[in-house]
């Protein structure tokens, strides 16, 4: 009986409210005229940047805050808020601090690339698309007559979405490479080279290198993971030496001291060990067996073609590379994880061309 009464009550409610429509929720409120920028602690404007790291690993938030703040050094300070797992809001209190972070990237923490964008006024951080990464691309092997901004823009759009050229490297004598700022898709393989079709329909390869290129897969060319954690790379049966991608795609990868005097140095001559009741034999030009300062030693240091493009005819201390157009990346700082992460954040890995 009780069960029957409950069923009758539910049926009565359904009959009464079955045709109800929540029209009130669809009406909306026009609040455009009441918009005000978000104020900061001192009453100023807050400039918000949302970002996430290209990794599936857990980000140590407090450590990340310290590292990025040390690298960015915002003059007016910053705050970092974790919105949810691997999504962070970076609040700056002066526009110049925000612009520097956006224009001088990409940055990284623990070698995991940070993809970030400014949050437009009136939008939620979660509504901002984080599907491209602004990077400097170095363009090599451009033939004479094809080094104009028009051609470089075509190269940028081939790699991703063209942003602008480095005007310091356009015009004047022929350069070893030219720099283009490009929004690179993070979910597609990196471009290794581009087929350049000349005016007479002959063609040649234009090779590409990426500045501040952090973790990426040598098997797929995708940003954000390594080939040693790639399931398809493991089962492919291809040796790592034959992967389509490699360190050669990173700009400024020459490390270690150069053998400046190696062309004139002879190999070291080993001293003859002393014999009993005999004086050690002295070899002219060689160090004696107990002269540790005399032994001077120098510390020494493709794939399926992409589609073609028909071209229009119109800080950390770095050691100088042999090619004066680029600087070599500094070596790691040993086992000091704090310093290592500091430089992995992007401060010292930018290749800066000679003007």
Tens-digit pLDDT profile for residues 317-355: 444 444 444 433 444 444 455 555 655 566 544 444 544
Tens of pLDDT, residue by residue over 274-327, are: 555 544 444 444 444 344 333 333 333 344 445 566 655 444 444 444 444 443
pLDDT of 94 higher than 70: yes
Kindly indicate the confidence band of residue 230, based on its pLDDT and cuts at 50, 70 and 90: confident
294-299 contacts: CB < 8 A, separation 24 or more? 295/268, 296/268, 297/268, 298/259, 298/261, 298/262, 298/265, 299/256, 299/257
Name the one residue in this structure whose structure tokens are 């929720």: 25
The pLDDT value recorded for residue 252 is: 79
The pLDDT value recorded for residue 225 is: 86
The pLDDT value recorded for residue 229 is: 87
Query: In terms of Cα–Cα distance, which of 331, 315, 252, 340 is closest to 71?
Result: 315
- Global pTM value: 0.66
CA distance linking residue 138 with residue 288, whole number of Å: 50
Average pLDDT of the residues in 121-138: 94
pLDDT of 204 higher than 50: yes
Tens of pLDDT, residue by residue over 97-116, are: 999 999 999 999 999 999 99
* Cβ atoms < 10 Å from Cβ of 129: 7
* Cβ atoms < 10 Å from Cβ of 350: 19
- Which of 126-130, 178-182, 272-276 has the lowest average pLDDT? 272-276
Kindly indicate the confidence band of residue 9, based on its pLDDT and cuts at 50, 70 and 90: confident
Whole-Å CA distances, 112 to 20, 109, 122, 215, 224: 52, 5, 29, 6, 7
The pLDDT value recorded for residue 299 is: 33
CB 139 within 8 A of CB 179: yes
């Amino acid at each position: 009986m009780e069960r029957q009464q409950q069923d009758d009550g539910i049926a009565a409610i359904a009959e009464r409210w079955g045709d109800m429509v929540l029209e009130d929720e669809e009406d909306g409120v026009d609040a455009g005229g009441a918009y005000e920028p978000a104020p900061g602690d001192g009453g100023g404007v807050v400039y918000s940047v949302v970002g996430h790291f290209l990794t599936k690993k857990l980000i140590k938030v407090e450590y990340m805050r310290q590292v990025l703040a040390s690298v960015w050094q915002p003059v007016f300070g910053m705050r970092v808020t974790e919105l949810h797992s691997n999504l962070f809001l970076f609040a700056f209190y002066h526009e110049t601090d925000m612009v520097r972070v956006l224009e001088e990237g990409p940055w990284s923490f623990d070698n995991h690339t940070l993809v970030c964008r400014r949050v437009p006024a009136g939008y939620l951080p979660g509504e901002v698309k984080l599907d491209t990464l602004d990077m400097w691309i170095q363009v090599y092997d451009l033939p004479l007559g094809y080094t104009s901004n028009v051609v470089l823009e075509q190269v940028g759009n081939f790699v991703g979405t063209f942003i602008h050229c480095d005007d310091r490297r356009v015009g004047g004598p022929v350069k070893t490479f030219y720099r283009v700022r490009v929004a690179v898709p993070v979910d597609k393989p990196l471009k290794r080279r581009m087929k350049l079709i000349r005016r007479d329909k002959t063609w040649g390869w234009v090779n590409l290198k990426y500045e501040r290129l952090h973790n990426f897969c040598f098997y797929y060319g995708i940003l954000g993971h390594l080939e040693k954690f790639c399931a398809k790379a493991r089962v492919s049966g291809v040796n790592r030496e034959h992967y389509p991608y490699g360190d050669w795609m990173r700009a400024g990868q020459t490390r270690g001291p150069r053998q400046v005097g190696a062309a004139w140095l002879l190999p070291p001559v080993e001293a003859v060990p002393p014999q009993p009741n005999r004086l050690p034999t002295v070899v002219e030009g060689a160090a004696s067996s107990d002269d540790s300062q005399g032994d001077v030693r120098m510390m020494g240091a493709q794939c399926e073609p992409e589609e073609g493009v028909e071209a229009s005819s119109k800080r950390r201390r770095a050691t100088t590379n042999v090619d004066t157009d680029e600087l070599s990346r500094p070596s790691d700082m040993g086992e000091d994880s704090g310093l290592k992460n500091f430089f992995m954040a992007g401060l010292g890995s930018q290749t800066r061309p000679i003007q």
